[in-house]
Chains A and B, each alone.
Chain A
Amino acid sequence: MNRQIEIRQAYGDALIKLGEQNPRVVVIDADVGSSAKSGGFDAKFPERHYNVGISEVDMNAMAAGMASCGLIPFTNTFSVFMLLRGGDPVNSLICYDRLNVKLAGTFCGLSDSFDGASHHSTSDLALLRALPNLTVLCPCDAVETEKAVFAAAALEGPVYLRLSRAAAPAIFEREYPFRIGKSVRLRQGSQLSIIATGTIVHQALAAAELLEAEGISARVVDMHTVKPLDAEEVLSCACETGAIVTVEEHSIYGGLGGAVAEVLAADTPIPMEFVGLTQYAESGDYPALLAKYGLDAGGIAAKARAVLAHKSG
């Protein structure tokens, strides 16, 4: 594969570009700016960068105040703390009043692998999905990350950016026309569809390769917008391939899999399998963790075989 680019670096660089174009953009850190790469904004725009220390509730509530006065604040912390610690103002101020705050939760899923379960973020999508008025974006590579940052700023209203700590190989070219709510078919296939979100899309593509070697044709969809979900594409997958596997670095409860299942249950119930977590994970090397918890290409391919058996059975 081609060069790996860190999602967090792409995010930090995009913020600076955005800051150059839009003077209303301000960046707020909570003492993890050097990890999240949002802190780089300070060198360029010190007057529009704030570090409020280790106080996530304060950060998000302060952003709400700024947004109510016409600014576009980007708040930054680890995904696991953005809602679980800093969540009350996200619900009661930002989403309720539809304030123009962009919440960047970095180190999503298991990507902060060595720090352990206390630093893994595997329940955020479930919380985020239940918050009205919120848009949720989860990019899979560096180009998509930059596009997501700009799209988030252009959208009036609250947006959550779910970002990985990991580096990911490039999938998209610069010209890629990213649109919020419009998923991307990365690979054609006829027997089943694999719908994935975030950098784990790469594992989904690798799984499709494994399956192809066995004569199984799998479609792969990059569902970069988890909310609002691209229901049209989900239904196309259901009608055209008849089986779906969802893939997310998250609990299988309440995340992408749940969202897809809700669409199918209301319209076209078909066999479905869920790739994701059902328990707390642990510290360890990132690829090793993905493998142990069934989130790597092999784990996804196994679920694909299972869904096919169900489909034909």
Chain B
Amino acid sequence: MNITQAKTAELEALCQGMRRELIDLLYERQTGHPGGSLSCCEILVTLYFHTMRIDPEHPDSPGRDRLILSKGHAAPMLYLCLAHRGFFPVEELATLRKIDSRLQGHPCAHKTPGVDLSTGPLGLGLSAGVGMAESARLTGSDYDVYVVLGDGEIQEGAVWEAAMTANKLKTGNLIAILDDNGVQLDGTVEEIMPAGSAAQKFEAFGWHTLTADGHSIEDLAAVFEQAKACRSGPVLIDARTVKGKGVPFMEGRSIWHGRPISAEDYTLAKQALGGAQ
């Protein structure tokens, strides 16, 4: 399904609003991961509000498309999407990371409606995605499986084990999206583990690869269509992103991976993101 200009504009506004809400939430809570949440905003919004076949009224429907946020620390952005999409009340976002909340620090499938797999420990999502994708074949279902990976996360060897299995099984309903922001926790990917092009590696592992501007709803929507059309094997989308996107002093800086937001920085961030203060 092609995305209309009106829908694109609507989702762009939604993203901007969610960025503001994210900063409010993490500032209020003084804990959580701003950088990696901001970088996957458009990816998640395009999937949840345009591409995926889901029904918030029936979050466990067997035929639904699945999404695994393998880089689970971006949970706040996932929760923003799920809440605004109607999986649970928007007011519940205020309980994030609080005791007795359904919104855990990292995604929790048995607590939060709409979360398809618990994540947090990096490097496991792609294997689980292969399992879900293969299950569609066995159960005669036609859903797709989306796995959002971090570019630091793919240093885990298990990711490449999954890449081999997906190639062997030719899981045509598996789409991995690499949040390729060039930054991890201790520094840039180039500093920590300069490993060359991830897309080329996936290609060498037998995957189809596509590239997208990870902050363009229009581009992402089009690339997701291409990926869905490709049924002969797994697809990796290399989504070029910026860690901390939208908050200039956070952009591209690893210290904003998980740092609490100070009052001063909060004011600056809100100014940068515009809208009502």
Chain A positions near chain B (C-beta within 8 angstroms): 29, 31-35, 39, 51-55, 57-58, 80-81, 84-85, 114-119, 282-285, 288-289, 292
Contacts and interface: CB of A to CB of B under 8 A. Distances in A.
Nearest to B29: A114
A114 B32 contact: yes
Contacts of B156: 54-55
B97 A51 contact: no
A21 B258 CA distance: 33
- In this complex, the member of A35, A55, A58, A84 whose beta carbon has the largest number of chain B beta carbons within 10 angstroms is A55
B186 A118 contact: no
Nearest to B187: A51
Given A53-B193, A114-B32, A282-B100, A119 B105 contact: yes
B35 interface: no
Contacts of B185: 31-32, 34-35, 54
B101 interface: yes
B52 to A, nearest CB: 24
A80 B72 CA distance: 15
Contact of B186 (A32, A57, A117, A289): A32
Interface string B179-200: 0000011110000110000000
Given A54-B123, A54-B184, A288 B99 contact: yes
A53 B157 contact: no
A35 B104 CA distance: 20
Contacts of A54: 122-123, 152-153, 155-156, 184-185
Nearest to B31: A114
Given A31-B184, A51-B193, A283-B105, 13 more contacts: A31-B185, A32-B185, A34-B254, A53-B193, A84-B121, A85-B121, A116-B104, A116-B105, A118-B121, A119-B120, A282-B100, A284-B97, A288-B99
Pairs of residues from A and B, 6 with the lowest C-beta to C-beta distance, nearest first: A118-B120, A284-B99, A53-B193, A116-B105, A53-B155, A116-B104
A117 B264 CA distance: 31
- In this complex, the member of B104, B152, B255 whose beta carbon has the largest number of chain A beta carbons within 10 angstroms is B104
Interface residues of B, number: 34
Nearest to B185: A31
B99 A118 contact: no
A174 to B, nearest CB: 31
Contacts of B254: 34
Contacts of B122: 54
Interface in B143-199: 152-153, 155-157, 184-187, 192-193
A35 B73 CA distance: 15
B236 interface: no
B101 A283 contact: yes
Contacts of B186: 29, 31-34, 39, 51
19 contacts: A31-B184, A31-B192, A32-B186, A34-B254, A53-B155, A54-B122, A55-B157, A115-B120, A117-B104, A117-B108, A118-B106, A118-B108, A118-B118, A282-B101, A283-B98, A283-B105, A284-B97, A284-B98, A284-B101
